[in-house]
Structure 1
Amino acid sequence: MSVLHRAYIYQFLSLAFFYPQKELLEELEEGLHDLSLSFKTLQMQVDLEPFKKAIAEAKERVIDLQGEWNALFSTTLKAPANETAYELEKAGRKAVELADIEGFYKAFGLEVKSPYEPDSIVAELEFTAFLLRGKMWAEQQGNAEAQEVYENAFRSFFRDHLGRWYRIFTDLLKEHSEENYYRHLGELLKSFLDKEREGIEGIVDLKEYRKEVLEGVSWKCGT
């Protein structure tokens, strides 16, 4: 059942990066028990208490959290939540990476609609959860061929996309976030994806981000 628990964690983390509303925070709070169970099933020692406390605090200061979301991901871009934000010095590469990401989605009959961006952390985490659920479904159906398709897609997408930029993203969250919610969320994301990348070869981490290149640009991560 580890695939089910991995899919749940991806889905939870995707939801946690949505534009913050009190209802969203309450939903996340209710899901913490299942999140804890999922980490334990995967034999990951993760302390969720700081994040639980941060959610409780954020519920009382939603407007402040919304301001921080904008500062991090949309306006001043302290920590862009889009993969291709780290490709802007190579404009041609940005188009190539976006086309490749969308190719993954289209191969499974999926389409990312506004206000989401295909390369946002929200969309990429959601897609990986989808692939794991697909693998689980194929296993239940006894369809080894489909199971292999979903597994290969997961490994390729993680290697070529999600796995190459989450570290610089979470480093920026740790450095620039003024809200405990996003600092602890970044720590959870990094811990989980560090575990997920084990055994996946060929990942080349994106390591540079120059904010001045993005001046005047606004990215949509999904609101």
Structure 2
Amino acid sequence: MDKIESLATQSGVDGALQRRAEQAVYRAQVYAFLSVVHLYPSENWSEDLPLAAAAVARVEGAPPWPEVQPMTQEALQMAYLRAFGAAGSLCYETEYGLPHEYRQAQELADIAGFYRAFGFTLGGAVRERPDHLAVELEFMHVLALKEAHALLTGVAEQAELCVDAQAKFLGDHLGVWIELFAQSLALNTREAPYLPLARFTVEWVRADAARLGVQLASRNRKEVNHTPFDPDFSCAACPMVDLLR
């Protein structure tokens, strides 16, 4: 945190704002780690578990860190496939509880609108839909970092804009379905690391929402129907399917 202290000193930021910025940075670190957890492990993120646990420990009001141990990348990949399957369809917000496929497109557009407003673009090495859990977690990471930077550079209005966006995104999107995701994952696996970290993610999002004054309703998977099938968001729309028939 030496860079934060240096920037705070240069900008004349008082101690209270500096502590708030530090909290935002630690929250950003946790969101970034959880984002990587919910993607196929092309790298061994489990080696960073101690760093993630240390960041969580520094966040006020954070839930307890789960008992998860580092493992080999091969073991991590096998655990991922057992938990999520090859398609990883559990990880998409708009697969849960929408009344029809047209609403799915509307929700995707709303999520993308959040991203555009804060210069968050999709693409690069990892290409996913905007409603993928890893993408939504990464967006919260970006918002927290932007909040910290605004605080440290004395742009209070920009910092509050980032805070409001975090609250609204949790209330409208990430916080609405994260519990349903963890419940669904529990049907596939009971083993570490994915189920304990999914449950931690639920508690982390809930705690962060409470900090921001957002009340999240508890939802039960059994009371939520899957969003009706839309071939535009499935393998059925791929031309390769016809070759296999």
TM-score range, shorter chain: 0.7 to 0.9
| Cα RMSD (Å) | 2.7
Does 2:106 match 1:96?
yes
Give the structure 2 partner of residue 39 of structure 1: 56
Give the Cα–Cα distance (whole angstroms) in 1 for the partners of residues 82 and 235 of structure 2.
Answer: 15
Which of these residues, 138, 151, 157, is aligned with residue 145 of structure 1?
Answer: 157
User: Of the two, which has the highest radius of gyration?
Assistant: 2
Measured after TM superposition, the shift of residue 205 of structure 1 is: 5.7
Unaligned 5+ residue runs, structure 1? none
Unaligned 5+ residue runs, structure 2? 1-21, 237-245
The 1:41–1:91 alpha-carbon spacing in structure 2 relative to 1, beyond 3 Å, is same
Aligned length: 207
> Percent identity between the aligned chains?
26
The 1:158–1:167 alpha-carbon spacing in structure 2 relative to 1, beyond 3 Å, is same
Q: Quick check: 1:174–1:186 contact (8 Å CA) kept in 2?
A: no
Does 2:18 match 1:18?
no
CA-to-partner distance for each residue in 1:89-128, whole Å, 9 max, x for gaps?
4222211111100001111222222621100001000000
Give the structure 2 partner of residue 133 of structure 1: 145
Partner letter of residue 87 of structure 2? Answer: S
Partner letter of residue 99 of structure 1? Answer: A
Q: TM-score, normalised by structure 2?
A: 0.74
Q: Quick check: 2:100–2:228 contact (8 Å CA) kept in 1?
A: no
Give the structure 2 partner of residue 7 of structure 1: 28
Measured after TM superposition, the shift of residue 158 of structure 1 is: 0.9
CA-to-partner distance for each residue in 1:24-66, whole Å, 9 max, x for gaps?
22x432x222222222212435244x312xx42x535245235
Give the Cα–Cα distance (whole angstroms) in 2 for the partners of residues 215 and 179 of structure 1.
Answer: 32
Does 2:120 match 1:110?
yes
Which of these residues, 69, 77, 81, is aligned with residue 67 of structure 1?
Answer: 81
Give the structure 1 partner of residue 92 of structure 2: 82
CA-to-partner distance for each residue in 1:119-163, whole Å, 9 max, x for gaps?
000100000000000000000000011111111111111111001
Give the Cα–Cα distance (whole angstroms) in 1 for the partners of residues 94 and 230 of structure 2.
Answer: 15
Which of these residues, 184, 187, 194, is aligned with residue 175 of structure 1?
Answer: 187
Q: How does 1:148-167 map to 2 (within 5 A)?
A: 148-167=160-179
Q: Quick check: 1:159–1:202 contact (8 Å CA) kept in 2?
A: yes
Q: Quick check: 2:68–2:196 contact (8 Å CA) kept in 1?
A: yes
SS of aligned partner of 1:61: helix
The 1:218–1:83 alpha-carbon spacing in structure 2 relative to 1, beyond 3 Å, is farther
Give the structure 1 partner of residue 133 of structure 2: 121
Q: TM-score, normalised by structure 1?
A: 0.80
* More off after superposition, 99-108 vs 110-119: 110-119
Give the Cα–Cα distance (whole angstroms) in 2 for the partners of residues 15 and 155 of structure 1.
Answer: 22
Which of these residues, 24, 46, 60, is aligned with residue 28 of structure 1?
Answer: 46
Give the structure 2 partner of residue 201 of structure 1: 214
